[in-house]
Amino acid sequence: MKVKVSRKAHFNAAHRLYRPDWSFEKNEAVFGKCNNPRYHGHNYDLIVSVEGEIDPETGYVMDMKVLKDLIKAHVEDAFDHKNLNEDVADFKGLNPTAENIAVVIWNKLRSQIDESKKLEVVLYETPRNFVTYTG
């Protein structure tokens, strides 16, 4: 029997959506106010889900304390109160869109979680705009 467990987390970060190889006008046309050269921020909500078989010894799919600690170490500590463009190496040369942020988070966590388990990342950039990535 497969069961999915989820942990919710939160971080605040600033970013600017732009491509340095494009003109300001093209960046403005494609990214609008998200192209602000002085950056802008979001209060991101994150839901990380792990799906797999229940361990008959523990009754867990995954120890939620372990998942909490992984999210803190690999996401919250890395991204919270940071400028994603300037402060986070993962986004050097990668536009920090919600889509790319979700993929980066998934990749950071995937190597830390048993490969037999499915991993899903849902990232809310705003209460109404969110991205889901499952690998």
Active-site amino acid positions: 34, 81, 125
- How far is C-alpha 4 from the geometric centre of its chain's CA atoms? 18
Sign, CA torsion 10/95/35/98: negative
Q: DSSP alpha helices (H): ranges in 32-116?
A: 64-71, 77-79, 84-87, 98-110
Six-digit token string for 27: 């960046």
**Residue 27 is inside which H or E element, if any?**
helix 24-31
| Residue indicated by tokens 């889900």 | 49
CB 98 within 8 A of CB 25: no
